[in-house]
A and B are shown apart, each in its own frame.
Chain A
Amino acid sequence: EVQLVESGGGLVQPGGSLRLSCAASGFSVSLHYINWVRQAPGKGLEWVSVLYSGGNTYYTDSVKGRFILSRDNSENTVYLQMRSLRAEDTALYYCARELWLQTSSSPSGAYDLWGQGTMVTVSS
């Protein structure tokens, strides 16, 4: 079955760290763009970061310098290391696969596969 499964969320104090995992099955994360999108309680969706198949990473401004993406191809898993966490980082974190357009050999920017999410709560 093709799926993404997130884990690693929890309650952490401000300034603390967490590492989220996004385990894929049914496809190789090394061949796809894997994104993280978060959703604060009762709020909308916010893009956080992306790991390209080639290894490049990009982040939204509010997490630059604090969050780091990595990938373990042998585990078929993408990791989001989060440091210096703030209350405003509290959210449900989803990993999502970006749809690749075969006709143009380019990313679509749209996410065709999502995990169920893992909750991160930053609070003292």
Chain B
Amino acid sequence: EIVMTQSPATLSVSPGERATLSCRASQSVSNNLAWYQQKPGQPPRLLIYGASSRATGISARFSGSGSGTEFTLSISSLQSEDSAVYYCQHYNSWPLVYTFGQGTKLEIK
């Protein structure tokens, strides 16, 4: 069973700065990695799929990188609206698994 571990659990960054969120897989997951943003009372919103492809309508301030076991979500020029919990998610077609990380809470100071 592949475990996805996100760090840090909470990140506090000032407006205008860059936030870097990490997601580590317990074994290689190739580039089958997605990132989501979830604000209170809302469903998750897809930001990144395939480790680095931005979903439709997502700002270029959001970028994903990595492959294998180490992945990063970067958010530049932070704004108050970026305050949310961010989840990474791994997918594999066989055996079929969809595994989420435990989330990183991003706070804007």
Contact = CB atoms under 8 A, between A and B. Distances in A.
Given A35-B98, A45-B87, A107-B93, A112 B44 contact: no
B91 A110 contact: yes
B46 A47 contact: no
B89 A50 contact: no
Contact of A109 (B34, B38, B87): B34
A58 B96 CA distance: 8
A68 to B, nearest CB: 17
Interface residues of A, number: 23
Contacts of B49: 99, 108-110, 112
A79 interface: no
Contact of A108 (B56, B91, B100, B101): B91
A42 B9 CA distance: 14
A96 to B, nearest CB: 8
A76 to B, nearest CB: 19
Contact residues of B: prevailing secondary structure = strand
B55 A112 contact: yes
Nearest to A117: B43
Nearest to B44: A114
Given A44-B87, A45-B87, A112 B98 contact: no
B102 interface: yes
A51 B96 CA distance: 12
Interface in A16-61: 35, 37, 44-47, 50, 58
Contact of B43 (A47, A108, A114): A114
B95 to A, nearest CB: 9
16 contacts: A35-B98, A44-B101, A44-B102, A45-B38, A45-B87, A45-B100, A45-B103, A47-B98, A47-B99, A58-B96, A94-B44, A101-B50, A108-B50, A109-B98, A111-B44, A114-B43
Interface of B: 32, 34, 36, 38, 43-46, 49-50, 55-56, 87, 89-93, 96-103
Interface of A: 35, 37, 44-47, 50, 58, 94, 96, 99, 101, 106-112, 114-117
